[in-house]
Amino acid sequence: MSARTLPSAAPWLRRATIDLDAYRSNLGRLRELVAPAELMAVVKADGYGHGATHLAAAALEVGVRWFGTLDLRNAHELRAAGFRPPAGPDGTADPDAVALFAWQFSFTETFERAVSERIDLGISSLAQLESVARAVEAVSQASSPDSGGAVDPALTALVHLNVDTGLHRDGVLPADWEPLVTRAVELVGAGVIRLRGIYSHLAEASDDDDTDSAVLLTEAVERANTLGARFDRRHLTASSAGMERPELRLDMVRMGSNTYGIPVTDGVSAADRGLTPVMTLSARVARVKRIAAGTGVSYDYTYRAPHETTVALVPVGYADGVSRRAQHGVSVALRGKRYPIVGRVAMDQFLIDVGDDPVEVGDEVTLFGTGSRGEMTVGEWADVIGTIGEEVCSGIGSRVPRAYLSEGADLSEGAGLSESADL
Angle CA(373)–CA(56)–CA(237) in degrees, nearest 5? 90
In the prediction, which pLDDT does 88 show? 66
- The string of pLDDT tens digits covering residues 314-344 is 999 999 999 999 998 999 999 999 999 999 9
Closest CA to 384 of 325, 343, 338, 317: 325
Does residue 225 carry a pLDDT above 70?
Answer: yes
The larger pLDDT score, comparing residue 239 to residue 304, is at 304
Does residue 18 carry a pLDDT above 50?
Answer: yes
In the prediction, which pLDDT does 171 show? 94
Of the listed 199, 260, 299, 301, which one is catalytic? Answer: 299
Closest CA to 279 of 132, 151, 395, 409: 395
Cα distances (Å, whole numbers) of residue 217 to 39, 68, 174, 351 = 19, 20, 10, 51
* Residue 301 appears among annotated catalytic residues: no
In the prediction, which pLDDT does 146 show? 62
Q: What is the mean pLDDT of residues 192-206?
A: 94
The larger pLDDT score, comparing residue 217 to residue 270, is at 217
In the prediction, which pLDDT does 268 show? 81
Angle CA(87)–CA(90)–CA(94) in degrees, nearest 5? 35
188 secondary structure, DSSP code? H
- The string of pLDDT tens digits covering residues 26-81 is 999 999 999 999 999 999 999 999 999 999 999 999 999 999 999 999 999 999 99
In the prediction, which pLDDT does 154 show? 79
Does residue 358 carry a pLDDT above 80?
Answer: yes
In the prediction, which pLDDT does 142 show? 84
In the chain, the domains with their CATH numbers are 3-16+277-410 (2.40.37.10), 20-260 (3.20.20.10)
Task: Report the alpha-carbon distance of residue 204 to residue 241 in Å, rounded.
Answer: 7
The larger pLDDT score, comparing residue 5 to residue 240, is at 240
Confidence of residue 415 (pLDDT cuts 50, 70, 90): very low
Q: What is the mean pLDDT of residues 80-95?
A: 76
Does residue 294 carry a pLDDT above 90?
Answer: yes
Of the listed 44, 48, 260, 303, which one is catalytic? Answer: 44
239, 242, 243, 244: CA torsion to nearest 10? 120
Q: What is the mean pLDDT of residues 145-165?
A: 82
Task: Report the alpha-carbon distance of residue 17 to residue 273 in Å, rounded.
Answer: 22
Q: What is the mean pLDDT of residues 395-400?
A: 95
In the prediction, which pLDDT does 412 show? 60
The larger pLDDT score, comparing residue 72 to residue 9, is at 72
pLDDT over 70 for what percent of the chain?
A: 91
* Residue 299 appears among annotated catalytic residues: yes
In the prediction, which pLDDT does 342 show? 97
Residues 78-91 as b or e (16 or more Cβ within 10 Å = b): bbeeebebbeebeb
**For the CA atoms of the chain, what is the radius of gyration?**
25
In the prediction, which pLDDT does 324 show? 95
pLDDT over 90 for what percent of the chain?
A: 81
- The string of pLDDT tens digits covering residues 270-287 is 888 899 999 999 999 999
For residues 50 and 15, the answer to whether their CB atoms sit within 8 Å is no
Does residue 178 carry a pLDDT above 60?
Answer: yes
Does residue 148 carry a pLDDT above 70?
Answer: no
Please, what is the average pLDDT of the chain? 91
Pairing of the two strands 364-369 and 279-284: antiparallel
In the prediction, which pLDDT does 152 show? 74
Residues contacting residue 420 through CB under 8 Å, at least 6 positions apart: 8, 13
Specify the DSSP element, H or E, that contains 128: helix 126-143
Closest CA to 101 of 140, 124, 71: 71
Q: What is the mean pLDDT of residues 361-373?
A: 95
Read off the pTM.
0.91
